[in-house]
Amino acid sequence: MRRKEPDSCGFAAAMQAIGGKWKIALLWELHLRSHRFAELRRQLPGVSEKMLAQQLRQMEADGLISRHAYDEVPPRVEYSITPLGLSLNDAVTAMSTWGKQHASWKDQRQAA
Domains of the chain: 11-111 (1.10.10.10)
The pTM score is: 0.80
59 neighbors 82 (Cβ within 8 angstroms): no
- What would the pLDDT profile of 44-94 be if each residue is shown by its tens digit? 999 999 999 999 999 999 999 999 999 988 889 999 999 999 998 888 888
pLDDT of residue 50: 96
The chain-wide mean pLDDT, for the chain, equals 89
pLDDT of residue 2: 56
pLDDT band at residue 5 using 50, 70 and 90 as cut-offs:
low
Q: Which residues of 27-54 are buried (b: 16+ CB within 10 A; e: fewer)?
A: bebbeeeebebeebeeebeebeeeebee
Q: With 60 as the cut, is the pLDDT of residue 1 above it?
A: no
